[in-house]
A = this chain, B = another copy of it.
Amino acid sequence: MTRSASSPVTDTARRAKAAAAVLAPQPRTVRDGALLAIADSLEARSGEIVAANADDIAKARAAGTSEAITDRLTLTPERIAAIAADVRHVVGLPDPVGEVVRGSTLPNGLELRQVRVPLGVVGIIYEARPNVTVDAAALCLKSGNAVLLRGSSSAYASNSALVAVLRDAVESAGLPADVVQLVPGESRESVRELMRARGLVDVLIPRGGASLIRTVVEESTVPVIETGTGNCHVYVDEHADIEMAVKILVNSKASRPSVCNAAETVLVHAGIADAFLPRALAALCEAGVTVHGDDAWQRAGKDAGTHVIAATEEDWAAEYLSYDIAAAVVPGLEAAVEHIRRWSSGHTEAIVTRDQGAARRFVALVDSTAVMVNASTRFTDGGQFGFGAEIGISTQKLHARGPMGLPELTSTKYVVTGEGHIR
């Protein structure tokens, strides 16, 4: 048991822990009622949310923030209605709490059940988008957890207004307001205190850029679930259907380059390179993608009259999140796997092949969160996987790996029932 010194952050965490103890045993109807109250309140009070958001926007403009980021920060009554609709969608999802994960009657007659229970207090550290504030709070409430929200300081006014609405709503539904709290303070120090609140906070989930995630992973004594950096690969096997491979490559790279499941490197079997490279270059070029290629790709570019930038080691490591892709020709499947083992962030890798043996080998040898066979890397997503919601995509191996839905926001406990059993 950690007894942290008192500070605004640890006091907040302490209140969250007390509120979590009240929330955890509540039946689904109470939690769902709170979510419906949140959705209604967001719409009813969208005026004050938009007003607070205007302050953040004005500050962002004054600071010369890019239009793209300012747009991500912007809340309108329509966007708030969409956020409320997402909350109502969460109400309809199956309740993870109380699910019996396994159960049996032991030889001595003891009844053993492993039951899903809330984690307790979940801390979310995230950047820019204020919709995450509501989204994360809704998923935590649905799964019976109290939530500590630490958003970007650039969205502080918006997040404060949103959390005020959330707290009033959960209170009106009979739950302690402290099940939803904003971490006080806009400084780095408040994040640091949150990372040290072991014993008060059960898990931290950082959502954002690679440097934020690295800091949290390295400095936190609270357990962390690492999310979302994606250096994803598409491997085009010798026995690929070329047309399929081109479609999957372009979709993986260019359908939405800013997200973590976008491809960042394409590896091509030498046996199919002559046929594939010209087709791929033409399609990538048409999609507006710049290729950073090895010698073979550079030669193919020269032949096709397409400029291919010479790739360096930095390209193999890069998570571009832009219309760029690293490209290499490899002598075979094992070399592709070697490259992936060395450079991948372990998010998603795809193989395109008609060869069942190659597909099996690739799946067995690649150690990543998701392996796609003849499908785009873009499918690694809680919504696409049918989870109904996603709190992030874990790229670590403990607790949760891949898209995290509601069950990943729970722990379990064993309930053992006897009639005077002793050992």
Q: In the complex, A350→B77 CA distance in Å?
A: 52
- Given A379-B416, A415-B373, A416-B379, verify A21-B251 contact (CB < 8 Å): no
Asked whether A182 is an interface residue with its Cβ less than 8 Å from the other chain, the reply is no
Asked whether A333 is an interface residue with its Cβ less than 8 Å from the other chain, the reply is no
How many copies of the shown chain assemble into the complex? 2
- Given A106-B385, A221-B218, A401-B413, verify A420-B120 contact (CB < 8 Å): no
Asked whether A51 is an interface residue with its Cβ less than 8 Å from the other chain, the reply is no
Q: Which listed segment binds B: A34-42, A148-156, A160-168, A363-371?
A: A363-371
A residues 369-423 touching B (CB-CB < 8 Å): 369-376, 378-380, 384-386, 396-399, 401-402, 411-423
Chain A residues packing against B (C-beta within 8 Å): 1, 21, 24-25, 104, 106-107, 110, 112, 114, 117, 119-120, 198, 202-203, 217-218, 221, 223, 225, 241, 244, 247-248, 251-252, 255, 317, 341, 345, 359, 363-365, 367-376, 378-380, 384-386, 396-399, 401-402, 411-423
A385 and B414 form a contact (CB under 8 A): yes
B396 and A223 form a contact (CB under 8 A): yes
A355 to chain B, nearest CB (A): 13
B423 and A255 form a contact (CB under 8 A): yes
B255, B411, B413: the one contacting A370 at CB < 8 Å is: B413
A375 and B421 form a contact (CB under 8 A): yes
Report B-chain residues with C-beta under 8 Å of the C-beta of A198.
Answer: 217-218
In this complex, which of A317, A374, A378 has the most chain B Cβ atoms within 10 angstroms of its Cβ?
A374
Q: In the complex, A114→B372 CA distance in Å?
A: 12
Sample of 16 more A-B contacts, CB < 8 Å, known A107-B386, A371-B414, A379-B416: A106-B385, A106-B386, A114-B402, A202-B397, A223-B396, A244-B419, A248-B422, A363-B415, A371-B413, A372-B416, A372-B417, A378-B423, A385-B414, A398-B411, A401-B411, A402-B412
- Given A376-B423, A421-B379, verify A411-B384 contact (CB < 8 Å): no
A367 to chain B, nearest CB (A): 7
